[in-house]
Amino acid sequence: MDLSGKVAIVTGSGRGLGLAYAKALAAAGAAVVVNDIDAAVAQAAADEITAAGGKAVAVAAAVGSSETAQTLVDSAVAAFGRLDVLVANAGVLRDKVVWKMTDEDFDLVTQVHLKGTFTCARAAIVRMKEQGEGGRLILIGSPAGQYGNFGQTNYAAAKAGIVTFAKVWAMELSRDKITANAVVPVAATAMTATVPFLKPYVDAMAAGEPMPEFARRELAFGTPEDVAGLVVFLASDDSAGVNGQAIGIGGDRLSLYSHPDQIVKEYAAGGWSADAIAAAWPQQFAPSQQSVGEQLPIPPTA
DSSP 137: E
Q: Where are the domains of the chain?
A: 7-256
Its pTM stands at 0.94
Distance CA 146, CA 295 (A): 12
Taking CA 5 as the corner, what is the angle to CA 254 and CA 7, rounded to the nearest 5 degrees? 65
Distance CA 51, CA 112 (A): 30
pLDDT in tens, 218-264: 889 889 999 999 999 999 999 999 999 999 999 999 999 999 899 99
Checking if the pLDDT of 128 tops 80, the result is: yes
Checking if the pLDDT of 28 tops 90, the result is: yes
Give the confidence band of 302 by pLDDT, cuts at 50, 70, 90: low
Distance CA 106, CA 287 (A): 34
pLDDT score of 247: 98
Length of the chain counted residue by residue? 302
Closest CA to 165 of 119, 107, 103: 119
pLDDT score of 194: 74
* Active site positions, annotated: 142, 155, 159
Give the confidence band of 297 by pLDDT, cuts at 50, 70, 90: confident
Domain 7-256: give its CATH superfamily.
NAD(P)-binding Rossmann-like Domain (3.40.50.720)
**Is 209 exposed, middle or buried, given 0-12, 13-18 or 19+ CB atoms closer than 10 A?**
exposed
